Amino acid sequence: MAEFESPDDLLKAVRNAREAGYHKMDAFTPLPIEGLAEALEFHRIELPPIVLVGGMIGGVLGYALQYYISVIAYPVNVGGRPLNSWPAFIPVTFEVTILFAAFSAVLGMLALNGLPQPYHPVFNVPEFALATRDRFFLCIEATDPQFDTVETRGFIESLHPRHISEVPH
Amino acid sequence: MNLLDTKLDRFQRQAFLAGTLALLISLVGALFNREHFFQSYLVAYLFWVGLALGSLAVLMLHHLVAGSWGFVIQRFLEAASRTLPLMILLFLPLLLGLHELYPWTHQEELQNPVLQHKTAYLNVPFFIARAFIYFFAWLTFAHFFNRWSWRQDQGEFLTKRMQLMAGPGLVAYVLTMTFASVDWVMSLEPHWYSTIFGLKFVVGQALAALAFSVLVVALLSKRQPLAGSVSAQHSHDLGNLLLAFVMLWAYIAFSQYLIIWSGNLPEEVPWYLRRTAGQWTLVAVVLILFHFASPFLLLLARLTKRRLGTLMKVAVLVLLMRLVDLFWLVMPAFYPQGPVLHWMDFTVWIGMGGIWVAIFLKGLKARPVLPLNDPRMELQTAHAG
């Protein structure tokens, strides 16, 4: 794992590592950095469909709830309007759609991220505490097919990081 | 750059020629069917003045929040807001048609006690005086935002002043446009009233202006001097704004419908009965499907928003639907049985639009296509990397 002092150094390092053929790596930063996700080949498209489906389920449930209440459970005549008065049902349907979409977004994000994650090997490195303050870390994982303890260390040194540490796991 | 200029020059001349021709043809039509001429004229006028005013509103919104999306369309918005003097000129013919358009100008209608009570507001001199006030307010804001932006190009620092004026400007615009929509459209059916009506126009105009800006930026983005300045992120932001305004329009249109439907009062309901009579239902369904549902679903997708070419198609659909919406708001007042299309509905719109586009292009070419010397813009470009 390499420690850098600025976002630009990290971004450069990530791009170099990818050119060198590494794919299984992760970056840790105290702030969001533009272009980092793209540099890490991180394009997820799983979340939007989950939110869409969640929202649609919410919409159907919201409408069904009102239909059940006003048509089946309590069929009350209000001012001669039909029992299934769809214009009046739209606001609640809309709200429940948003509610379910928001829940699917949060829960789906957590599930896809693998959060909450109480243990991660990088925490074994003492300097890693700085990742929440002013240091930028790049971690090349041992599961990468190109990973080799000596060679990878040599490669990381060529990036001129401030500090290199091996993550025990 | 020169090639583009010659192209724009040619297009400007063609637009002006087509516009003048179409207006002349319409004038001939007016001799035979004076009433329909003024009806078509009102719809066309609301569309084109909406583009100018919506652009002014979005321009002020941009000065207020300074998103990077605003800088790529700022000059289009400014050029569109500089068409306001033309729109004042084009308002004058409407004054000749007040009797054809507005029932509250008829003596026999004034026998009605409800309308008698409204004469304090709905009378011709006050109508003209109010229009004068609206135009004065709009022109003032359009003038200063354009002048300050131009002076900033010359090297002065006026960003702060523009940001400071944008808030009051937006408030003034929403208030004046609310009154203008009551005067020009709601009073076509003087018994009816809806408090959200003005907001529907405000949102519709902002939506139209955004769609128009997307169209222009998409057409110009591949050529110098704009090439390279418009990123996928800009396109994405503009797409998100379009989506937001499409939803807001639907929200307001539905709110009005829901309230009137729930109240079920004899003063309010006829407005919707006329707008769903006969083939008008078809127009209403088209609005739901193509003014809301399809742009909404298309704009949900990330890919639609990140490709300017695709986004442009949605913008064209939205612009077209703005016209249909105005048609549906105005025309049932005269044709409660069902829509009656007349060739003047097209020629007046084309005529006014041709001249409007020509003036817009003339204004656009007069200044650099991206604003200069705005410190916030440099911040944005640095940030976008």
Q: To the nearest whole angstrom, how far is the Cα of B258 from the nearest Cα of chain A?
A: 6
Candidates B248, B252, B254, partner chain A, best to mutate (most A CBs within 10 A): B254
CA angle A27, A29, A34 (to 5 degrees): 85
Q: Are A17 and A25 in contact (CB under 8 A)?
A: yes
Chain A residues in contact with B300 by the CB 8 A cut-off are 52
Chain A residues in contact with B383 by the CB 8 A cut-off are 34
Decide: residue A117, CB within 10 A, 0-12 exposed, 13-18 middle, 19+ buried.
exposed
Q: State residue A92 phi and psi, 5-degree precision.
A: -65, -40
Which residues in chain B (287-316) have CB-CB distances under 8 A to chain A? 300, 302
Chain A residues in contact with B302 by the CB 8 A cut-off are 48
pLDDT at B383: 47
| A35 closest CB neighbour out of B254, B264, B385 | B385
ipTM at complex level: 0.70
Q: Are B87 and B203 in contact (CB under 8 A)?
A: no
Tokens of B377: 């813009």
pLDDT at B115: 85
**Which has the higher per-residue pLDDT, B96 or A158?**
B96
CA angle A50, A51, A52 (to 5 degrees): 90
Would you tell me how many other CB atoms lie within 10 Å of the CB of residue B65? 12
Inter-chain touch B385–A34, beta carbons under 8 Å: yes
pLDDT in tens, chain B (385 residues): 456 778 888 889 999 999 999 999 999 998 899 899 999 999 999 999 999 999 999 999 999 988 788 888 888 999 999 999 999 999 999 999 998 899 898 888 778 888 888 888 888 999 999 999 999 999 999 999 999 988 888 887 888 888 889 999 999 999 999 999 999 999 999 889 899 999 999 999 999 999 999 999 998 887 777 777 788 888 889 999 999 999 999 999 999 999 999 888 888 999 999 999 889 999 999 999 999 999 999 998 888 888 888 999 999 999 999 999 999 999 999 999 888 889 999 999 999 999 999 999 999 888 888 887 777 766 555 444 3
